[in-house]
Each structure stands twice: as structure tokens, then as C-alpha cells.
Amino acid sequence: EVQLVQSGAEVKKPGESLKISCKVSGYTFTNYWIGWVRQMPGKGLEWMGIIYPGDSDTRYSPSFQGQVTISVDKSMSTAYLQWSSLKASDTAMYYCARRLLGYCSGGSCRTLYVFDIWGQGTMVTVSS
């Protein structure tokens, strides 16, 4: 069974650093992109960025570029999302998700920015 299991809820103070994790199982970690999505309390979904564990190629949404760092540990089949200095506005639920491998139709295939399997989410609360 394909699973993405995220680390537990965190409560931090502004200015602190944090690294949350997403451990995958049930498939070859290095073959699929893994992304992160933010959901602030009572709000919608925001696409943050994505990483390819095979070579650590990473792409960030402009809104999150420079605000967070996405990384992987291939030996642990785990992806990470980290902050160097948290702000109260980082309070949110964070989801990791696996990118759909591809879409094929009429003999041609392409990749899509679609997530087919999601982790359960990690709630991050930043408060003084």
C-alpha cells in the first residue's frame, strides 16, 4: 500500500526553526516527485513547491521561494519541509503529496502537476 506518513503536530515560537517530515512507503521513492501544500486555518489550498527525490531537482512557487526549503533523504525515503525563522503567519496545516506519474492519451504522455496520494497533514502552530 502506498503511504505518505507525516510527522506530528508542532508548536513553535516566532523566530524558531523547524523541519517537518514525510516518510513514504509502498513505492520507489526516487521515481515520483513529492510536493508540499499549505492550508491556513479555515482557508483553501496553496501549492508550495515540489522535489524530485532522484536528483533533488526542486521547484518553488514564487510565493514560497526563499521562505521555506524542501529537501529529501533518499536513504530514509523521506521528504522534508523546513523553515529557518518561523512567523506567526506560518501557522497552518501542511500536506505532502505524491505527484501523479503521468497522463497518457492517444499514444502520447505528459506529466501534470497533480497530486494523487496525500499525507495526513502536519499542523504547525507558531505563537509567542
Partner 1 sequence: DIQMTQSPSSVSASVGDRVTITCRASQDISSWLAWYQQKPGKAPKLLIYAASTLQSGVPSRFSGSGSGTDFTLTISSLQPEDFATFYCQQANSFPPSFGQGTKLEIK
Q: Yes or no: say if 39 and 123 are a contact pair by the CB < 8 Å rule.
A: no
Of 8, 62, 66, 107, the residue at the interface with partner 1 (CB under 8 A) is 62
Of 121, 125, 126, 127, the residue at the interface with partner 1 (CB under 8 A) is 121
Tell the burial category of 103 from Cβ atoms under 10 Å away from its Cβ (0-12, 13-18, 19+).
exposed
Q: What pairing do the DSSP bridges indicate for beta strands 57-60 and 3-6?
A: unpaired
> Does residue number 105 form part of the binding site for partner 1 (CB under 8 A)?
yes
CB of 44 to partner 1, least distance (A): 5
The DSSP secondary-structure symbol of 74 reads G
Task: State which of positions 26-55 bind partner 1 (CB under 8 A).
Answer: 37, 44-47
The distance of Cα 10 from the centroid of its chain, to the nearest Å, equals: 16
Closest to partner 1 by CB, 82 vs 120, is 120
Q: Give the residues lining the site for partner 1 (CB under 8 A).
A: 37, 44-47, 59, 61-63, 95, 97, 100, 103, 105, 112-116, 118-121
